[in-house]
Amino acid sequence: MNFDVIIIGGGAAGLMFAIEAGKRGRRVVVLEHAERLWKKILISGGGRCNFTNVGASAAHYVTSGSPHFCKSALARFTPNDFIALVEKHGIAYHEKKLGQLFCDFSSKQIVELLEAECAAAKVEIRLECRVVEVRKNARFEVETNLGMFTSDSVVIATGGLSFPKLGATDFGYRLAEKFDLKIVPRRAGLVPLTFAEKEQRFYAQLSGISLDVIATVPGATFRENILFTHRGVSGPAILQVSNYRKATDPIGLNLFPEKSAQQLLEKQRSEKKELTTVLSQWLPQRFVQAWCEQNFPSRPMNRFTPREVESIAARLHSWQIQPAGDEGYAKAEVTLGGIETNELSSKTMEARRVPGLFFVGEVVDMTGWLGGYNFQWAWASGCAAGGAV
């Protein structure tokens, strides 16, 4: 079982690597510990796989290392390159919003695309293959329950820790440690946030309400929807800020992202209508009731002073919430942190200090925003390394 390259992990990045290296005539084998491939792709994007984002650039990635690290790979395999593959396979797709491309029908079509490309590139795949040890002598030796594999190069594409029920493991990080490569501490990313128990009663009454907001934490602002859940907050706005938020940061929510609350309220300040009735013109009634009880008990508008109206408007534009934790890897779409980028070549993803050893995809300390950026990184980093072996 001698190969040019052994790829450990058969997800988006590993398979893109295998396709690229296979097309270049390399003999490649993918070792996957699960009983089948594609699990994450199948459930991604709510079953329609948000396979890329037309605007993907370095600005859409979070890393503790150099923000420039991803530029080379992203420039050499662009969203248009993946779109060309999608079109070549006749897959209908659409832009949902903000440059996010989804299949019209099913993520299964992306799986079929990758399967066809793997077959054309003569990629060999071994399922239920458990790697026991990786050694580097004259060649790499990968000892598994299916026997010993040897190769000139090994690619680690085992992903992050998110969604353990789909087969996530810490294998890639352990292997990096074994080869003395530095790792940025990991934490859940693109993850719903939770409130402390004493606050959960207040937020539980908002469960199911979705609002269009501008969410802000130090260093990041997103205009998206927030969704209140029975334990905390979720929705795109919250998942996005979760990538940037330090544990103690409050989140500022602008509940009037387009209008001036001050002007709207001022116009109705001489009226007898209750504050709750007035605010319910723009926000869901159930939210308004709870929000007013917590912030400004409702009374007729004409009984608020101009100063009070000013404070109400200011709070509507900057309501602070303070989640206490997050839902963890079980519900996180990605893992922040990972193999330090300065351990790797940004052109090839090869470990600078361990020639022949490559890391691609989510195992690297490079995490995208919500919206197709994480698959784009998986395709691009896989392709960069696949062109280098």
Ligand X SMILES: Cc1cc2nc3c(=O)[nH]c(=O)nc-3n(C[C@H](O)[C@H](O)[C@H](O)COP(=O)(O)OP(=O)(O)OC[C@H]3O[C@@H](n4cnc5c(N)ncnc54)[C@H](O)[C@@H]3O)c2cc1C
| Residue 125 is a binding residue for ligand X (CB under 6 A) | no
| Residue 386 is a binding residue for ligand X (CB under 6 A) | no
Residue 312 is given by DSSP the state: H
d(CA 68, CA 58): 7
| Residue 28 is a binding residue for ligand X (CB under 6 A) | no
Query: Do 91 and 111 form a contact (C-beta atoms < 8 A)?
Result: no
| Residue 74 is a binding residue for ligand X (CB under 6 A) | no
| Residue 374 is a binding residue for ligand X (CB under 6 A) | yes
Tell which one of 5, 7, 11, 126 touches ligand X (CB under 6 A). 11
Residue 29 CB, shortest distance to ligand X, in Å, is 12
d(CA 180, CA 136): 13
* Both tokens assigned to 291: 């929000």
Q: Does residue 265 sit in helix, strand or coil? A: helix
Angle at 113 between CA 58 and CA 153, to 5 degrees: 65
d(CA 183, CA 181): 7
| Residue 195 is a binding residue for ligand X (CB under 6 A) | no
Q: Does residue 24 sit in helix, strand or coil? A: coil
Residue 88 CB, shortest distance to ligand X, in Å, is 20
* Both tokens assigned to 109: 């079509």
Tell which one of 171, 256, 291, 369 touches ligand X (CB under 6 A). 171
Contacting ligand X within 306-345 (CB under 6 A): 333-334
* Both tokens assigned to 108: 């299964």
The residue among 251 and 333 lying less far from ligand X, judged by its C-beta, is 333
Q: How many residues bind ligand X (CB under 6 A)?
A: 36
The residue among 222 and 296 lying less far from ligand X, judged by its C-beta, is 222
Query: Do 237 and 280 form a contact (C-beta atoms < 8 A)?
Result: no
Sequence-distant (≥ 6) Cβ neighbours of residue 119 within 8 angstroms: none
Residue 175 is given by DSSP the state: H
Q: Does residue 144 sit in helix, strand or coil? A: strand
Residue, CB closest to ligand X: 11
The residue among 98 and 324 lying less far from ligand X, judged by its C-beta, is 98
| Residue 194 is a binding residue for ligand X (CB under 6 A) | no
From residue 210 to residue 249, the character string flagging contacts with ligand X as x (rule: CB under 6 A) and all else as - is: ----------------------------------------
Which residues of the shown chain bind ligand X in the complex (CB under 6 A)? 8-14, 31-34, 40, 43-45, 49-50, 131, 157-159, 162-163, 167, 169, 171, 333-334, 361-363, 372-375, 378
